[in-house]
Structure 1
Amino acid sequence: MKILEQLFLNFLETSLTGTIFILTVLFIFKIFNKQINVRIKHILCFLILLRILVPINPYIDISFAHLLRSYDNVKETQEYNDREFKGMPYDNALKSNDILKSDEIKKNNNIYLENNLTNSDGVKEYNHSVNILYISTLIWSLGVVIVALVFNMSVIKFKIFSKSAEKINNNEIEQYMYSLIKNKNLKRNIPIYICNGMDSPCIIGIIKPKIYLPQYIFKLDKETIRHVLLHEFMHYKRRDLYINFLSGILLAFHWFNPLVWILIGKMKIYRECACDLSVLEILGEDSSIDYGMTIINLSKMFFNKNNLNARLEFKGNNKIRERIEMIKRFKGGSYKITLATALGCMLVTTVLFTTGIKVNALNLDNEGKGNNQIDTEKVTQTNIDDKHEFLIDSDTKIYNDIDRLNNVFGENFKLPDFTLETLPKMKELIKIDDNKNAVKIFFYNKDYDISKDSFTLQIFNGDVLEGLTGVEKSTFNERIQLDKLSLDYQFNIEENFDKIDGLYGKCITTTIVDDDFERIRKYYSWNDGDLCYCIKYYQLTKINGEITDENSISLDNIKKIVESFKNLDELNNIDYKFNMKNQQKAGILRDIYDKEDLRYASDILGFNPNMPLQINGEPIEFAELSVTTDSNVDENNINYEMYNCYSYNENSILLFTQSRHDILNKYTNAKSKGYFYDNDKVSVESIKIDNKDILRYSKYYDNGNNSDLRDAGYMWENDGIYYSVTISNTDGYHDEIVKEFIDSNPIE
């Protein structure tokens, strides 16, 4: 659906651009009607037709945000890989109740919601605008299909009707057509057919054109027949059949624009007049009256009942009066296209194809924002032209599927088929800035021993120094924000003198120095196409002057790794593919970042999960699809749950889980017995929230400083799906927050 919406917006932009040009040209035609050659009129209309058919705009930025708004509510969250900072293996405790969200993280979050914005007002309005784009795209698509069907049905109807047509057997007519073809140096003969019941002569067929004449044509005098044949012949000579076909395509995609229909109608008139001019230039000025009488006489003999877009008729659905007026004014050579006219058309073409209007469907206009409007320039860092859109746009995104990572990154990258004794253990997408991402893959041995042959690979687009600087600062800033460290650190990056024989890359050294922290890294980098590849082959980390980790790989081994890089479908020795069984044992099946991840989660869970993008005014931190704690992977007794994490305050988090499985029968026992066991016996009470039966409980604990801290929990069941909300480190119950979860709906 996303591609279809993109296509709709592109055609809407070109249609709006075309509207301005059509109005301008029609105004000029109205003022200077008799001064402008009909051929010029037809050429100008045709240029506009071509411009609107090309759904690409060099933009003039005009916002239509009040009609079409952002496709997704993209939220920014902060994650950090502690292993990369201190040289330690990845720790899932990052996503446990120990997460502490500081005010600095909130301020640096790419999403920022105004303080007076509430979830119930802003998000509903925002989702409403999303529906407008969705519904508009569906209506437009339906219109395209209907117009295309009508056009094709008219063609099919004519083909069925013309099956009874017989090829003409008249030596005089055939000889006349042969002389026309020979005089005009055409290589193709155009067959002529007689069709009983036809009301008007016409020519049809782009690949194999044919002229169809009605039966009564033989009752006319020879001169009239020649005029008719010459007129249809000139349609073919002028390539009007192709223009007519393009007109049909234009109407199909821009059926919603009445000015496009007017443009096509005008083009038909100008096309017939231009064709008449071509005929008169062959017949000569002396025959103009006779040709005009042919048009008048034929118009009296037939009435066009079916105007088929695929054929060009002698009469057509055109204004006879305008054609006759043009013929009366005809003078030999008076309708020639001069050099000045040709240059003018070239100028118009340049203007047409270098001007456009942009529909900002994904960026709301900042002017006139009310308190309940979302500023999407802050809410989302993506727009319609970006490679990928995220629901949760954290600085570091973890992927266990290499094909999925390749797809999200947006460019096909290569990977090493030789990695010493290590295996790819972690695959990440690092956000360098709002418009650029980097792929980061960690290679460790099976014991996660980072001191032996471990290395990281980074892939990004652009300059190596700029890209490495972005990745290094992005990951280090997360550590600073999470631990409330000083932002006043020193970063340095430079090329060093290490070289690898036989390779044409660079060796780069980065250094980060803070009060009690120092880290030195060395990379080997090279370019392959548009992508830059960097392998970290050395790292030294000191905290308070003491070395906490040091590891390196020899340059000889780096050379072997670099030379082994292949496309993903060519790899033989290293398995980067997703392994379901391994992920089930690890417990986390997939982190949720976008709608494709949500669809995957829906298939695994067996229902569409709820994922509110903000709760209590706070954006979602992360969401994961996981194996339940009571699953037994070895015995293939596996159940799944999805849980979302939100910040509540500086010391608390919210966990929202949902599953078709009642984990450890916790809800069933609590409902029937009034309690459940979680190390200790925990009593529950039954309450009503939003007319729904909810089980509520609390667990007190002593953290050494404050024995009054507790977790507040809520459980409920709806349509066979079990939900729970846990609020950690809280001072009481918060039913109003749980109501937000109850009222939430799946993202479409």
Structure 2
Amino acid sequence: MDILIRSFLCFFRDSITASIAGLLIILILKLFDKHISVRLQHALWIIVVIRLIIPVEFQSNLSLLNLLHENHQNSSNIENKSTIKSMTYAASDFLREGKIQYSYTSKNQISKVNQSPSKIVYSRENIIKEYITSRILGIASFIWIVGVFSIAAFLSAVRLQFKRKILNLEEVRDLESIKLLNECKNKVNITRDIPVYICDNFKSPCTLGIIKPKVYIPKCVCTKNNLKQLYYIFLHELIHYKRMDLVYNFLAVLAVILHWFNPIVWFCMKRMKLQRECACDTYVLEIIGEEKAEDYGMTLINFSKLVSSNKVPRLAVFFETKNQIKRRIEMIKNFKKGSYKMSAAAVICCVLASGAILTTAVNAKSMKAYKTAAVVSSNNSSVKNQNSKFLIDAPIKYYDNLKRAEEVTGFKVKVPDYIPTKYVLASIHVIKVSDTDNSLEVSFSKKDGVFNFQASKVDMEQCLKQIAEDQSKGKVEVNKEAMNLEGINGYNITIKRTLPMGYNYKIIDKCFIWQNEGVWYSIGYSIETQRKENKSSTIGIPIDDVGKIATSIKYDQDVKNVSYSIPKDVSTEVATLPIYDKEDLKKAKELLGFNPKFPLSINKNITIKGSLVGISGDSDIKNKKIGYELGTFYNLKNGLLVFTQGKSSKAYDDMSKKANTIKIDGKEVLKYETYEKSVANKQLKEDIYVWKENGFYCEVSIMANIANQDEIVKGFVDSKPID
């Protein structure tokens, strides 16, 4: 199913890009029709067809997909996937990458947006939304592939039926007709034998067959009285072969099959067919000359009067509707010698159009990460050593004390010894800037205010810009100007984030940055929110306080007035300890009171996503009877999987009354099936497995329709506690 969804998203992305390109081409042709040769017009449609049938992945700044991703580059951020609206932006990643991504979730837990890192709150509803999204994608993909096969089967049946009808057709053997055909072949430099058949079922000439082409003409045409018309017909059909129109038409049919759900594609392919006929007419006129244009036009008109049925195969027909005949007659009337030639400017236009349509959007996030690493990367090798120790290398890591955060960043930092009145330490976290560099950020807050202090070995301007782009889905602009505060020479950085459509506001961050003993520092002192209704609000600290904070920075051991250790908030909704490396696992053992299992992967499709220690739901907080449990979350195709471990037997006791007991690798496991109501009031199935270990209990919760659930659970049962 995952391959099917990826394929659907890939073609859906291409369908959007090609549709935009097609509509632009139609607009351009409407405005500049008389100034663009028919051959160039047809060439532009060929580029659209190629985009529709070939999932090209070459990145280019010219790509039309850049328009889609300019405002939605980072829609895969974990925090921003917790609402239905944000899933719209996640679709932008689907279109670019052609793959599905799931956020960090548990069966009843998911991080809220912009929540203080020390208080990560969770909601089961968001997990159900993610599950619904994956189910919708699965259903849509299934409908798409059924449509593809249905249309392909129908066209194949029509093709087979037609082949049966033409088995006994009479080949043209008339000497004058053969002589005329050979003359036309010499005119267009064709040496291949292309037979001509008489078919009474057709009221218009056509050419069929890519590998073995054959020309089919009505019987009424093959008379001595119609040799002039027959000459034009042969010439026209042979030029279809010469121009490879049969191949282009096959590709257009294939594009319609793959993109049957998109009416714009059907319309564009119809326009392409008309341009193909016009280009063929122009080629004919180049050969026969302007003086015979009127005779050629009359041939079209005479045949248009004969058409009265739709039984003609629509592959390379001589003409189609009255409007198209009118368009072609106008082109023939205004024909000038040289109309078929492609100028240098036309070739350049095709090259540029190919760059815009055939390439995919530049992955700005990876490009900027590369640029930052290349331009401002640190030479500090201790970070590399530290990064290699991560079991879960999250882009933002939360810690409860400064010393631990410094160990992760790989360098010593100075921190403020002064903060404004009523402000308290809110969070300490490490932000991954590149594969080798980290930035340490400390947030301070009060009831109606907040400011951030940040340290980095890499250039702070580049660091702040990349972080803003990574954490935002909108456009980011950066302005820099020199500033001196309290004798410190630095810069004032203004970062303007335009959030994508649907949020209706902009965010303007202001920071003072400077360098001290080889380390860059930043104080984010103002956050302004501008709404479209001309309403704005600003939180932060006065510029005078920024100078005081900047001049007060000291190493942690010398700080006397500020505590850099976050007190624990006792709540069942709070993540007590996120786990990233073996040091965190060591602390987790102490809190849990046992050595937990910690499998990093079960198979190639089920790998660890995140893990944290929290207070168990049956803890008696008022009486200070606290229990802890470890929740570990895994990537699972089209669903969710959570592995929970704790000393509490409540879940096991509750399930033993209603669950079935099964044997998994010799161990007794309770298995229970339950249903959760989704936001759309649909019932979502959840399978829960619970078993005893030596001194603790384990639970695996699976919310997905997969056939090998017991085998997956076996992987957790067989896994060993950590050393």
Using the size of structure 1 for normalisation, the TM-score is: 0.49
2:145 matched residue in structure 1: 141
In the alignment, what sits opposite 1:473? 389
Q: Gapped runs of 5+ residues in structure 2?
A: 60-64, 73-85, 95-99, 367-378, 411-596, 608-613, 618-627, 635-640, 677-684, 707-723
CA contact (8 A) 1:38 1:273 kept: yes
Find the aligned partners of 2:382 and 2:262 in 1 and give their Cα distance.
46
State the one-letter code of the partner of 1:252.
I
1:167 pairs with 2:209: no
Q: Do the aligned partners of residues 622 and 48 (structure 1) sit closer, same or farther apart at CA in structure 2, a change above 3 Å counting?
A: closer
**Structure-2 separation of matches of 1:191 and 1:325:** 32
Q: Which amino acid aligns with 1:54?
A: I
Give the 3-state SS of the residue equivalent to 2:166 in structure 1.
helix
Distance 1:254 1:174 in 2: 42
Amino acid at match of 1:180: C
**For residues 506-517 of structure 1, what are the structure 2 equivalents within 5 Å?**
none
Q: Which of 141, 152, 155 is the matching residue for 1:151?
A: 155
Structure 2 CA distance for aligned equivalents of residues 122 and 487 of structure 1: 30
Alpha carbons of structure 1 residues 726 and 314: separation in structure 2 relative to 1, 3 Å: same
Question: What secondary structure does 2:189 align onto?
Answer: coil
1:36–1:725 CA distance, 2 compared to 1 (3 A) = same
Is 2:33 the counterpart of 1:41? no
**C-alpha contact 1:622 1:644 (8 A) present in aligned 2:** yes
2:574 matched residue in structure 1? none
Change (3 A) 1:475 1:273: closer
- Quote the offset at 1:466 in angstroms: 9.8
1:337 corresponds to which letter in structure 2? M
Alpha carbons 2:104, 2:633 under 8 Å: kept: no
How far apart in 1 are the matches of 2:328 and 2:393? Answer: 74
Residues 105 and 633 of structure 2 are in contact (CA less than 8 Å); yes or no, is this contact kept in structure 1?
no
CA RMSD, 1 decimal = 5.3
Task: Determine if the alignment matches structure 1 residue 620 to structure 2 residue 631.
Answer: yes
Give the 3-state SS of the residue equivalent to 2:34 in structure 1.
coil
Aligned equivalents of 1:65, 1:721: Cα separation in 2: 27
Q: 1:729 to 1:198 in 2, by over 3 A?
A: closer
SS in 1 for 2:87: coil
Equivalent in the alignment of 1:452: none
One-letter amino acid of the counterpart of residue 17, structure 1: T
Q: Alpha carbons of 1:200 and 1:621: their partners in 2 closer, same or farther (altered >3 Å)?
A: same
Give the aligned partner of residue 276 of structure 2: 271
Which of the numbers 351, 354, 358 marks the counterpart of 1:349?
Answer: 354
How big is the shift at 1:278? Answer: 1.0
In 1, distance between residues paired with 2:259 and 2:119? 39
Q: Which runs of structure 2 are paired with 1:57-68 in the superposition (5 Å)?
A: 57=57, 58=59, 60=66, 61=69, 63=72, 65-66=87-88
What secondary structure, in the 3-state scheme, does the structure 1 residue paired with 2:316 have?
strand
SS at match of 2:217: strand
Compared CA separation, residues 233 and 722, structure 1 to 2 (3 A):
closer
For residue 264 of structure 1, report the CA deviation from its aligned partner.
Answer: 0.6
The alpha-carbon deviation at position 200 of structure 1 amounts to 1.8
> Which residue does 1:187 correspond to in 2?
191
Amino acid at match of 1:280: L
Q: Secondary structure at the match of 2:88?
A: coil
Describe the SS at the equivalent of 2:210. coil
1:48–1:352 Cα contact (<8 Å) kept: yes
- Among candidates 324, 327, 336, match of residue 331 of structure 1: 336
Distance in 1 between residues matched to 2:688 and 2:123, nearest whole Å:
27
The Cα shift of 1:232 comes to: 0.6
| CA contact 2:205–2:233 (8 Å) conserved in 1 | yes
Q: Secondary structure at the match of 1:312?
A: coil
Q: Which amino acid aligns with 1:275?
A: C
Give CA-to-partner distance per residue, 1:226-279, whole Å, 9 cap, x none: 111111111011110110011011111111221111111111111111111111
Q: Distance in 2 between matches of 1:721 and 1:655?
A: 10
Aligned in 2, Cα 1:73/1:475: closer, same or farther, shift over 3 Å? closer
- Quickly say closer, same or farther: Cα 1:593–1:34, change in 2 above 3 A: same
- Matched residues in 2 for 1:259 and 1:34: separation? 24
Aligned-pair CA distance for 1:652: 6.0
Q: Which residue of 2 aligns with 1:661?
A: 662
Matches of 2:201 and 2:392 in 1, distance apart?
82
Is 1:253 aligned to 2:262, yes or no?
A: no
Deviations 1:526-576 (A, max 9, x none): xxxxxxxxxxxxxxxxxxxxxxxxxxxxxxxxxxxxxxxxxxxxxxxxxxx
Q: Distance in 1 between matches of 2:705 and 2:615?
A: 13
Equivalent-residue separation in structure 2 for 1:477 and 1:719 (angstroms): 29
Q: Does the 8 Å contact 1:167/1:193 carry over to 2?
A: yes
What residue identity is the alignment partner of 1:257? N
Secondary structure of 1:302's counterpart equals: coil
Displacement of 1:212 in angstroms is 1.0
Helix, strand or coil at the partner of 1:163: coil
- Cα deviation for residue 293 of structure 1 reads 0.8
- What SS is found at the alignment partner of 1:33? helix
Shift of 1:473: 2.6
Which SS does the other structure have where 2:158 is aligned? Answer: helix
Other structure's SS at 1:620 match: strand
Q: Match for residue 531 of structure 1?
A: none
Where do residues 358-507 of structure 1 align in structure 2 (5 Å cutoff)? 469=385, 472-474=388-390
Is the 1:240–1:271 Cα contact (8 Å) retained in structure 2? yes
Tell me, in whole angstroms, the C-alpha distance in 1 between the residues paired with 2:147 and 2:387: 47
Q: Give the corresponding residue for 2:310.
A: 305
The equivalent position to 1:127 in structure 2, one of 131, 137, 142, is: 131
- Give yes or no for contact 1:203–1:211 (8 Å, CA) kept in 2: yes
Query: 1:276, 1:470 → 2: CA distance?
Result: 70
Any idea what the Cα deviations from partners look like across 1:17-68, whole Å, max 9, x if unmatched? 1122112111111222333322221111112222333323535225483286
> Quick one: distance in 1 between partners of 2:147 and 2:408?
59
The 1:270/1:593 distance shift into structure 2, 3 A limit, reads: same
Q: In the aligned structure 1, how far is the partner of 2:616 from the partner of 2:14?
A: 39
**Match of 2:385, as an amino acid?**
T
- Structure 2 vs 1, CA of residues 615 and 271 (structure 1 numbering), >3 Å: closer, same or farther? farther
What secondary structure does 1:301 align onto?
Answer: coil
- Asked if 1:646 corresponds to 2:644, the answer is yes
Which residue type is aligned with residue 66 of structure 1? T
Larger Rg: 1
**SS of structure 2 residue aligned to 1:203:** strand
Name the CA shift for 1:661/1:721 in 2 (closer, same or farther; >3 Å): farther
- Cα separation, partners in 2 of 1:666 and 1:241, compared to 1, 3 Å: closer
Q: Are 1:281 and 2:303 matched, yes or no? A: no
In structure 2, what is the equivalent of residue 238 of structure 1?
243
* Contact preservation (8 Å) 1:68, 1:133: no
Work out whether residues 202 and 213 of structure 1, in 8 Å CA contact, stay in contact via their aligned partners in 2: yes
Give the Cα–Cα distance (whole angstroms) in 2 for the partners of residues 205 and 353 of structure 1.
Answer: 28
Question: Which residue of the partner structure matches residue 609 of structure 1?
Answer: none
Residues 144, 253 of structure 1: 8 Å contact kept: yes
1:699-723 per-position Cα deviation (integer Å, ceiling 9, x unaligned):
xxxxxxxxxxxxxxxxxxx999985
2:576 match = none
CA distance in 1, matches of 2:675, 2:327: 71
Is the 1:645–1:655 contact (alpha carbons within 8 Å) kept by the matching residues of 2? no
Residue in 2 that maps onto 1:535: none
Distance 1:16 1:288 in 2: 40
Displacement of 1:644 in angstroms is 7.2
TM-score (norm 2): 0.50
SS of residue in 1 equivalent to 2:330: helix
Question: What is the one-letter code of the residue matched to 1:661?
Answer: I
Residue 310 of structure 2 aligns with an amino acid whose one-letter code is K
Match of 1:537?
none
Amino acid at match of 1:260: V
Tell me how far 1:357 sits from its aligned partner. 8.8
> 1:165: Cα distance to partner?
1.1
Contact (CA 8 Å) 1:288, 1:327: kept in 2 or not? yes
Q: How does 1:538-577 map to 2 (within 5 A)?
A: none
